[in-house]
Structure 1
Amino acid sequence: MSGDRKRPPTIADVARVAGVSQPTVSRVLTGNIPVRDVTKARVRAAMKKLGYRPNGAARALVQGRQPIVGVITRDTALHGYTRMLANIESRARQAGYLVAIVALDPVDLQNATSALDLLLGQPILGVVVLDYATYDSRLRDSLGTLPISTVIHGDQTDIDVPHVRVDDRRAAYEVTNHLLGLGHRTVHHVAAPSRGGEPHVREKAWRQALTDAGAPVPDVHRTDWSITAAREAGAALARDPDVTAIFCANDELAFAVMRSIHEAGRRVPEDISVAGIDDEPLAAAWVPALTTYRLDFDWAGVAALELLMELDEPSRTAGLPSYGLVIRESTAPPASTA
């Protein structure tokens, strides 16, 4: 589950390039014992040449401070990110670390430099980057030799850092097949935003499931993850008498679509079946209860953190993910076959 990483430079490497002893490098890093300015300059020049980043955790312990785990995320509001962040924070606290969270938009890193600099100025043990593949080389260059782990999604295969996988592709494929298996001629999709012009993996899997089944592939109703966009998509679909099944890119979008269907005077699932992904807590309490796919974000957050803490060992406490299709009241055969 982890990619190869080039060995980061060590204090020994810095000492060799600077022509000083390892204790001298340590004194420059900690500042506890005076070192001549000319020697400091040689050590710092060697660090810059090697791309050496001081071990923040060790430096913090020397200075009597608590080390910090950094988390970089593109969003803090969506269910999956919220669950991962909460579980990373809880597990880090158990291990004796603080957590510093920075929200960075992958398409607007230029305006996030100050936040990233503030994070990297802390005694950082390493960084968990949620959805690392969505960021470009600017983030990777900024992180330098810091240890990194990440959570990836269904169709990402070229990740060069330790990672765990949340299988969005499998989830979307199975939800779409569930609706087709009920007898629906096709399944419409209320989609997540595209990423750099690329459809979200959940949209790709929906399309693949329809193609594999020989079912028509309707036009996508793409959203920006907002309830407003989902309500609009739901209203448009509810006006079409041929629509009998809708797969939404997450549960929140599904809730909004179901509201629009209700307002249009149509019923779920009698007229239109609706399904989502994530298995949010409200999914079981909604009326009707929402058919969805459980993705184990709690596991993913803990497992990614443990990869960061012990990069050469498998996770010991995160266990195995719990995932699978959860069939509830919001999906049924189409009225013509029920």
Structure 2
Amino acid sequence: MTKLRIGVIGASGYTGADLIRLAAAHPNIEIGPLAAGAHAGQTLAEVFPHLGRVEAPTLTRAEETDWRGCDAVFSGLPHGAAQDIIKSLPEDLRVIDMSADFRLRDASVYEQWYGRAHEAQDLLAEAVYGLTEFYGPEIAEARLVACPGCYPTAVLLALLPLLSAGLIVADDIIIDAKSGISGAGRALKQNTLFAEAGEGLSPYAIGAHRHGPEIDQEISRAAGRDIVASFTPHLVPMSRGELVTCHVRLAEGVTVGDLRASLDSRYHDAAFAHLLPEGRVPATQHVRGSNHFIVNVFPDRLPGRAVVIGALDNLVKGSAGQALQNFNLMFGLPETTGLEQQPLFP
């Protein structure tokens, strides 16, 4: 069986760890160099004891790592740092980036929301947005894939089919989103301390979350004009999981049944996106640890409106799993390879 050698940059973060966890069970992957700044010189077992039985080299600094011999590199670095490292990689390497640095197509929008100029605009121009279910053919041919953020993945999978078909009013979308604490990354932050986040639920980055313009970018493409959605994220005291509740207005003459039919048509043969049976409510515990996304539609008590609810694991389908799904397409492998594990329950 052919083995493809991969490297991981940002291997000591949550997304890096989940990527390694999934890659270790992938029949076509050999885990190569692992780069992590603060943890350089440590073994994988020292950084992540749960991965102690995975055969992998000692962690190194990215700038000191020899990437020769790798077929692909996954990047789990924070925004800003990713573009600096990726632009220095060998040009023959295929890159799957899980940061925000190549998601926004407009460099000026990136600068506005991330507070620094984009310094790899040639790479930005060639990057393919890695929402697998909608950009599969382009991803298969890409050298650089920019995996979507976890919130945009859930929102876009829930809404793009409906927007493309003109079934909902694009100017009237309200997104109530909730994510587990791992979505904030592994760095120490006061608001994610157990005593601060536990036993409570809190909104954050109200009207100013960086995933907002990413959502706008893609729903605007689907709608064929510039759209801004109302998007409010919330922090939930659980390790992983994400649920989005999207309040939408139906187009003239459209029913909730039409929305379900559209989603069923779009995802009927999809490997990882699924419309649930009528009346069944999506929940994070139904996708935990898996690469699956589930969605359903419900009538609102307000006439002419509907509620579209989607759930995924923010570290898998919302990050590392989707990255591996894109890797499979890039190297001509079955889309599901290494990703067929079922959700963990309870």
TM-score range, shorter chain: 0.3 to 0.5
> By percentage of residues, which structure has more helix?
1
- TM-score (normalised: structure 2): 0.35
Structure of greater Rg: 1
